[in-house]
Amino acid sequence: MPLKIIICGGGIGGLSAAGFLRAKHQVTVLERGTLDFTVDDYGMSIVSNAFNLLQKAGIKPENLDMVVMTHVWTRTPNNEELKTVHFDTRARFGGAPSVLVKRAKLQSELMRFATSSEFPGAPAEIIQNAKVAKVDTAAGKVWTEDGKLFEGDLIIGADGIHSVVRAAILGDQDISASIKTYDTLAFMTQLSIEDLRSDPNFAYLSNPTAEAGLANAHASSGPQVNKHILVYTTSPHSLQVVGYTSEKEFSEQFDSAKKAIIKDVPTARVVEEFAPEFGEAFVNLFRHDKIDAWRIRDVIALDTWYSGKALLIGDAAHAVTPLAGQGSNMTIEDAEALGYLLRDVDSSEGIPDVLQRFMALRKDRVDFVRRRSHEIGGIRAEGDEDREPITSEEFARKIYTYQGAEKALSGQKHPGMG
């Protein structure tokens, strides 16, 4: 008998889990919003560890309008070359590329994975405009805001950082207690490749069909200065510019608006922020309107991700700061692992054991990413102290070589691992 599974949230985690679980089970996804895949939203890195799992499941790269990452260019604040790393995971890790893609494009393809008849199993039912308001973890019941009741053998909380399912699992309605901020924000804007084509400073970034990747520069001219600019291709036509710095006066705005995004920050304010430490080449990238400020947050390491018939995945369980570019990757890994662990479970009696095994399999890996992400951002968090910093080689070896839950459980190493 297939299990009846209710997934709360139709984001990266909810749709990937629906894709991996529908092969064997009956899946319903409750998404609070309307899924619009035509928006031109932010870009993200889907690295070999997660891309590999999606590709094996049948995701089509040609549907993603993506670019394959081949380089990481480390520059000085004046855009002089410091180090160029050939970051092509196809060569290093047995064929799996790392890609840069717009979030909506990825989500659209995940929707196909969850609902198209081209994939095994019955298509998942995706119910939009269904905001989960209440969850009874012991009974496996979920109520949406409009009073509808959904019952399942398993309830999956894929409802992001402000998860209602997490509140139910932790028995704490004050969900903000598990979310941490670090006096860090990211100013973010999008550019077209055309905008950069005439700028000789960034010739290395403006031909994404030949080379694509990420340029980054740090400025740390004193203990108070920890600023960091990233520029990366997000499709064959577009780039994203991200500048990390202190929240300063924006903290109050974030707090009072109870939002993690402040839209349309004045260009002059952003230029003023980076001009003292960075040269014109980088600062000019922010001389555009439509710059948003994103508050950098994560979810603290939780003692549990499950209770009764409910389990958390993705950002609901373990949102990480974005500096290591692994939030979605960990979420997709979660979804694949859950699909694997539940593949032969045909009655609700088998579920408690799976929930416990899932967390045992995933927790250390996610904690490792959280720590590395803090280190990259110069973030000092409780629990990170007195530990040797994670090197980029160690991170690559442990994270980018991942081959899925089955191999992780059997302890087998991929032949490409160093």
Ligand X SMILES: Cc1cc2nc3c(=O)[nH]c(=O)nc-3n(C[C@H](O)[C@H](O)[C@H](O)COP(=O)(O)OP(=O)(O)OC[C@H]3O[C@@H](n4cnc5c(N)ncnc54)[C@H](O)[C@@H]3O)c2cc1C
What residue ranges bind ligand X (CB under 6 A)?
Answer: 8-14, 30-33, 42, 44-45, 131-132, 158-160, 164, 188, 294, 314-316, 322, 325-329, 331
Q: Which are the contacts of 343, defined by CB distance < 8 A and separation ≥ 6?
A: 23, 24
Task: Specify the residue, 279 or 358, whose C-beta has the smaller distance to ligand X.
Answer: 358
Task: Specify the residue, 213 or 279, whose C-beta has the smaller distance to ligand X.
Answer: 213
Shortest CB 100 distance to ligand X, Å: 8
Task: Specify the residue, 111 or 316, whose C-beta has the smaller distance to ligand X.
Answer: 316
Task: Specify the residue, 127 or 199, whose C-beta has the smaller distance to ligand X.
Answer: 127
Shortest CB 72 distance to ligand X, Å: 13
Contact call for residues 106 and 63 (beta carbons, < 8 A): no
- Pairing relationship of beta strands 4-8 and 154-157 according to DSSP bridges: parallel
Shortest CB 356 distance to ligand X, Å: 21
Measured CA to CA, the distance from residue 245 to residue 251 in angstroms comes to 12
Q: Looking at beta carbons, which residue is closest to ligand X?
A: 11
Please list the helix, strand and coil fractions of the chain in percent, rounded to the nearest 5, in that order.
Answer: 35, 25, 40
Shortest CB 280 distance to ligand X, Å: 25
AA letter at 116? S
Q: What are phi and psi of 358, to 5 degrees?
A: -60, -50
Contact call for residues 7 and 156 (beta carbons, < 8 A): yes
Shortest CB 166 distance to ligand X, Å: 10
Task: Specify the residue, 273 or 315, whose C-beta has the smaller distance to ligand X.
Answer: 315
Shortest CB 316 distance to ligand X, Å: 6
- The three-point CA angle 315-374-273 to 5° equals 100
Task: Specify the residue, 30 or 342, whose C-beta has the smaller distance to ligand X.
Answer: 30
Task: Specify the residue, 313 or 405, whose C-beta has the smaller distance to ligand X.
Answer: 313
Helix or strand or coil: residue 8? strand
Q: Which are the contacts of 190, defined by CB distance < 8 A and separation ≥ 6?
A: 40, 42, 43, 234, 238, 239, 240, 241, 290
Shortest CB 11 distance to ligand X, Å: 2
